[in-house]
Structure 1
């Protein structure tokens, strides 16, 4: 997990059990101006959110991960407990069915490009919460 700096501009939490995809998504969001926190499963993600939910503005999560809960579960819990957090869900295997995504969340198929991620983040987050780099790119 990356170091947390509460004074820095918007924070994103990236959740994926595949280390390469986690690194790729983290890099894309850092390039877009986010300070990124990381987790490799839903349990870790909820611990991060419990501690840092006030600073986190974006959840970017995979669907299939080890453990009892998946990324759809995490998206719904996040939207219910911390409605200020924008949610983007990504998967290369599953597509959301009815009720899988909370209201306002978006879905990205894998593999994804930086342009697709930035577009979905722009659409999901309110304009005033976008980091400067995301507004310029």
Structure 2
């Protein structure tokens, strides 16, 4: 699939340890106009964010991944260290408890559709930070 993404398109970091879901979420966000970076666990995601945090506008993360930290931990760390990055957390198993999600983050269940992802992204990112295909 070829994605026509403009040079000024915002970046999204997609984090999931399931390669198929990682590819699906990346494709959905690229089709919505983002340029996507990928990671398969929290440690990789933090390395990507340390390098590209000034470019990333959206973190889209799974909850359950290998390692000492999960997607809720990643969401909280991201919001604390890089408050300009909007956060969407997705899970097919976990439901957020009080304190799991940082303020302003969105949660959605799996499986998800492109429409559901786009709706969540529109709700948490201001219009001027959205890629052109998602702007109202």
Please report the TM-score for the alignment, with normalisation by the length of structure 2.
0.94
Partner secondary structure for residue 36 of structure 1: strand
Q: Is the 8 A contact 1:8 1:35 kept in 2?
A: no
Deviations 1:45-90 (A, max 9, x none): 0000000000000000000000000000000000000000000000
1:20 counterpart residue number? 20
Partner secondary structure for residue 84 of structure 2: coil
Alignment RMSD: 0.8
1:116 counterpart residue number? 116
2:3 counterpart residue number? none
2:92 counterpart residue number? 92
- How many angstroms apart in 1 are the aligned matches of 2:79 and 2:116? 22
Aligned length: 130
Cα offset, 1:8, TM superposition = 3.7
Deviations 1:88-122 (A, max 9, x none): 00000000000000000000100000000000000
- How many angstroms apart in 1 are the aligned matches of 2:8 and 2:70? 29
1:3 counterpart residue number? none
Cα offset, 1:127, TM superposition = 1.1
Unaligned 5+ segments in structure 2 are: 1-6
Please report the TM-score for the alignment, with normalisation by the length of structure 1.
0.93
1:63 counterpart residue number? 63
